[in-house]
Structure 1
Amino acid sequence: MRGFRGDLAQLLKARFPVLYIESYEEQRVLAEVTAVARDASLLRTPRPVWTWSATQGLVQPDGVPHRGTTEPEAALDVVLRGREPGVFLFKDLHAALGGGDRPANPVVVRRVRDVAAAFRSGQVPRVLVIVSPVLRIPVELEKDITVVDFPLPGEAEIRALLDSMIASNAAGGRIRIGLSDVDRERFAKAAAGLTLHEAENAFARAMVSDGVLDVHDLAVVHDEKRQAVSRSGVLEYAEGGAELADVGGLENLKRWLAKRDGSWLAAAAQYGLPAPRGVLITGVPGCGKSLTAKAVAAAWGLPLLRLDVGRVFAGIVGSSEQNMRTALRTAEATAPCVLWVDEIEKGFAAGVGDGGTTPRVFGTFLTWMQEKTKPVFVIATANDIERLPAELLRKGRFDEIFFVDLPTRTERASIWRVHLGKRLRHKAVAGELSVDERVVAELCDFSAGYSGAEIEQAVVSGLFDAFAERRPLRQDDLIRATVNMVPLTVTQAERVAAIRAWAETRAVAATAAEDWDLGAPPPGMGSATSTGGAG
């Protein structure tokens, strides 16, 4: 048997003395552990399950509390004196194991080591199971404790919960159900990444909002999921708010992404295709890297999770590795999704005097990138890619590395059309100005060497001039704003040249070869402009 039950059964049969399960779902863990401990088909000797909490103390298998055992030392003493087979599940023991600035209780640590030694050498099968929402293992116990992964509920468990809630509420006529079997599947998939308790709350909210449960209530489930992701403290459920059409140019990158749309579905598995790992997008600042990340999630219809690496290193000393594991586990539970890591070089540049925390956290991220099997598509953006460790750039981490250069004339025309098209829809802005070829051509002449962000800012500046005089936008407003702006290619010419030099032989051009101006090959990109490399 594979999965948590199979792994736990193997550990129990192998007489591992102390197991640590990191999970918020105490009751679900207890139910799973009890099911394994009592299953004669999994264990030769079924075992009774004892539980301990700081409020009830040690509770016997028949439900009767053992007096005087609310303190962990006393409960562990009782466990040590026992001679019968058993599984002893402790819920609040992590509070005595330290963490952050709080030291571990040395007596409790000693008792756990004594338990480990006694259970390892004993003649009867006994195991101590620690259940905790956080991973806290003092250095003295690192060799005695085995950490067991406990996954969030799968689609089948969530679907069973949904069906039972529908059955219990529909029977009394309290709500009206308007879901087909396919709609129920969509609800179960939408709740992936939630605990059973969170999924139950989401379904309950959807049912009581208007007395009808139909496909329109998926928004309620998505809102609960957004809150659950935000509560992780490291990941942010970002709003896409953009379409690929809003990204001017970058046709080579767009084609590459379009070919991988839906590649996490069963249809792709029939071709023997693995889920794509992700892309690293580097290039000149302000040329659409972050906007592309948002647009991909919207185009693929997937949740967009933003990993703030700065938050990983914030908070209690020693919790950074735990924060990264929590973030990655949450992303996998939310899969399929897009994980956006903005300006990755700032987060993983080697820290000075951080006690080696940065390399350890970075190593956790690298290992996950290499070994992940869940469809989490990572889009990382970087402005200063030379600061990134070489291990991140080798094949196997990302499927491809794309370089986004300053927009060509063709791309500048597309960018002007996008931003002017958005603004000219407003009555106060629209006048005689239109987005025709002549206007766009003149604006492209004045904006040579400008980034997409600078072109957008020129439009905004022109709008402020028009707003100050309470009149429609004119072409001369845009030209004046463009001419008065000093672009990045002037203020940071050396930096832009260095970025282009790095990408010359190391990255694939995000701009299609056919979009480059005749006689003007991609600056610093050499043969990487071939679309064949990005197909």
Structure 2
Amino acid sequence: MEQPFRTTLAQLLKARFPIVAIESHEELRVLFEVRAVAGDADLVRTPRPVWTWSLTDGLRRDDGEEQGRTKDPADALDALLRLQQPVVAVFRDLHPSLGGAGQPGDAAVIRRLRDVATAFRSGAVPRSLVLVSPVSRVPVELEKDITVIDFPLPAEFEIRGVLEGMLRANAASPRLRIDLDDDGRERFAKAALGLTLHEAENAFARAMVNDGVLDLADLPVILEEKRQTVRKAGLLEFIETGPRLSDIGGLENLKRWLGRREGAWLADAADYGLPAPRGVLITGVPGCGKSLTAKAVAAAWGIPLLRLDIGRVFAGLVGSSEHNMRAAIRTAEAVAPCVLWIDEIEKGFAATGANDSGTSSRVFGSFLTWLQEKSRPVFVIATANEIESLPPELLRKGRFDEVFFVDLPTRAERGAIWSVHLGRWLRHPRVGGALTADHAVLTELTTLSEGYSGAEIEHALIAGVYDAFAERRPLRHDDVVRALVNMVPLSVTQAERIAAVRAWADARAVAATAAEDWDLGTPVAPTQPRPDGGGPHRPHGGRPVEF
């Protein structure tokens, strides 16, 4: 487990590490923590005054004492070298002088930093230099002299403190009604995890002025602030959440499993001693709801949905892929609690290490380590169509909580899918009217769509609406039937492939369909006459009984 920041910094100061670099946008929080450590005799034994430097203020001590003309960074470092007393100096935004992004650094500043490292390491009094900037830049000349440490984003109790302070400050306002119990305040604080204190304060203020009422309905305002964080990072895509789990036809076993883990990152689950759920790997027949489930989970749980495109990770200069994966992971953890969706994961990790000097293997290794060790509530949903091509180490327990297999929809599931899609179209003022969704119609369409995936059922209905649109009339029963019988589904064109996927999943995955929904009734006849009289309609095999 990672040590608290104050403990780490105190150890480095006591060990007289000469230069420490901290990457953070929150320089005021960093300064607060540095001052707390430097002035605590229990942490550092010898309390030390804190000096700060910036390009606008120069070098000055906390009590106001200045060191002459020191706005130039080289002059400030010279003045720092002359201070023969215990000191912790915090230099803010020195990174432009250190180069980076193809630009050389200031040779004079880099040379003086090396002199500072030598003098502070061997000096008679404890002195340390802390570099604080929003980006981490360590020139090759200073790689052995600078120690980089992580500065965590605000913890939940810090964000909760900001929220409580704002609630107290605005409690007497006649224009604001606060409707949040303790559980609601916890949800607000957890929703703001991953934001800086300033960003969290902005989000809470926006939620307050949104409609004059602060309640759980304002949680999307917090998520919008997180959307800005993801957009700025560039490696992840913030996805608009889709339908809820109840809007997905079938997959009752998977939906029940997911439903029982809603809110498992809150304090109630911690009281049970439960860790946050890690995630699921969903494989199966294409077009049967794997990606839709990822969108529905985020909507049902009320947390952000992020999509990781592996192709974006493997891009850029040599060595940037590993950096991109780490950056993507940091962004996801900053936005947590969230759902991280990795679509068609086998496309990125199927052949790791092949013909790329080991880049894929290193990126894959970083990803596996994070899956195993992650402590932030990032629920990973990975989908795969060709799961047998994935490395076996990805599938072992501890990486994902469960592996689910999504097969072609059963008869009961097809009925539910038809109800969802027909209900949507029949409510349309131009499309509905000539077709009903009564029991007889659903039974016929369910029978005709034997072997069809959910996506193919949706496409057949859309094709029927196109026919209705061409004649500028409402949708009719024969439009849908004609589209169905003219379509050759994947269960026919990829029959061998689907059989292989089923064979793999038989002993390795949990069925996403509940056992009570399995369709084990009368088999479909070898041939079925087309309703349009155009010859036999090809049969499509359903789920084998033993599966």
Give the TM-score taking structure 1 as reference length: 0.87
From 384, 387, 390, the equivalent of 1:388 is 390
Aligned residues of 1:101 and 1:317 also touching (Cα < 8 A) = no
Match of 2:12 in 1: 11
Aligned residues of 1:509 and 1:525 also touching (Cα < 8 A) = no
Match of 2:347 in 1: 346
Shift, 1:136, TM fit: 3.2
Take 1:101 and 1:356, find their aligned partners in 2: how far apart are those partners? Answer: 25
Match of 2:529 in 1: none
Match of 1:202, SS? helix
User: What is the identity, as a one-letter code, of the residue corresponding to 1:457?
Assistant: H
Match of 1:176 in 2: 176
Aligned Cα root-mean-square deviation (Å): 3.1
From 434, 437, 460, the equivalent of 1:435 is 437
Cα 1:282–1:77, aligned 2, differ >3 Å: closer, same or farther? farther
Take 2:269 and 2:167, find their aligned partners in 1: how far apart are those partners? Answer: 33
From 515, 518, 526, the equivalent of 1:516 is 518
Match of 2:130 in 1: 129
Match of 1:262, SS? coil
Take 2:211 and 2:259, find their aligned partners in 1: how far apart are those partners? Answer: 38
User: What is the identity, as a one-letter code, of the residue corresponding to 2:472?
Assistant: R
User: What is the identity, as a one-letter code, of the residue corresponding to 1:337?
Assistant: C
Aligned residues of 1:97 and 1:137 also touching (Cα < 8 A) = yes
Match of 1:149 in 2: 150
Aligned residues of 2:180 and 2:214 also touching (Cα < 8 A) = no
Match of 2:247 in 1: 246
Shift, 1:380, TM fit: 1.0
Take 1:65 and 1:16, find their aligned partners in 2: how far apart are those partners? Answer: 25
Match of 2:194 in 1: 193
Take 1:150 and 1:286, find their aligned partners in 2: how far apart are those partners? Answer: 43
Cα 1:99–1:451, aligned 2, differ >3 Å: closer, same or farther? farther
Aligned residues of 1:101 and 1:316 also touching (Cα < 8 A) = no
Match of 2:528 in 1: none
Match of 1:259 in 2: 260
Take 1:200 and 1:4, find their aligned partners in 2: how far apart are those partners? Answer: 22
Indicate yes or no: 2:286 matched with 1:292: no
Match of 2:530 in 1: none
Structure 1 range deviating more: 56-65 or 18-27 = 56-65
From 448, 451, 456, the equivalent of 2:450 is 448
Take 1:378 and 1:155, find their aligned partners in 2: how far apart are those partners? Answer: 22
Match of 1:224 in 2: 225
Match of 2:536 in 1: none
Cα 1:403–1:43, aligned 2, differ >3 Å: closer, same or farther? same
Take 1:105 and 1:318, find their aligned partners in 2: how far apart are those partners? Answer: 25
Cα 1:178–1:444, aligned 2, differ >3 Å: closer, same or farther? closer
Give the TM-score taking structure 2 as reference length: 0.85
Match of 2:422 in 1: 420
Take 1:95 and 1:250, find their aligned partners in 2: how far apart are those partners? Answer: 54
Structure 1 range deviating more: 181-190 or 277-286 = 181-190
Match of 1:272 in 2: 273
Take 2:340 and 2:306, find their aligned partners in 1: how far apart are those partners? Answer: 5
Match of 1:27 in 2: 28
Cα 1:364–1:174, aligned 2, differ >3 Å: closer, same or farther? farther
Shift, 1:283, TM fit: 1.7
The percentage of aligned residue pairs carrying the same residue is 68
Shift, 1:123, TM fit: 2.8
User: What is the identity, as a one-letter code, of the residue corresponding to 1:487?
Assistant: P
Shift, 1:311, TM fit: 3.2
Cα 1:391–1:525, aligned 2, differ >3 Å: closer, same or farther? farther
Aligned residues of 1:98 and 1:136 also touching (Cα < 8 A) = yes
Structure 1 range deviating more: 473-482 or 104-113 = 104-113
Q: Which runs of 5+ in 2 are unaligned?
A: 524-540
Aligned residues of 2:279 and 2:402 also touching (Cα < 8 A) = yes
Aligned residues of 1:253 and 1:511 also touching (Cα < 8 A) = yes
Cα 1:410–1:364, aligned 2, differ >3 Å: closer, same or farther? same
Shift, 1:477, TM fit: 0.9
Structure 1 range deviating more: 231-240 or 100-109 = 100-109
Match of 2:41, SS? coil
User: What is the identity, as a one-letter code, of the residue corresponding to 1:443?
Assistant: L
Shift, 1:45, TM fit: 1.0
Q: Which runs of 5+ in 1 are unaligned?
A: 530-535
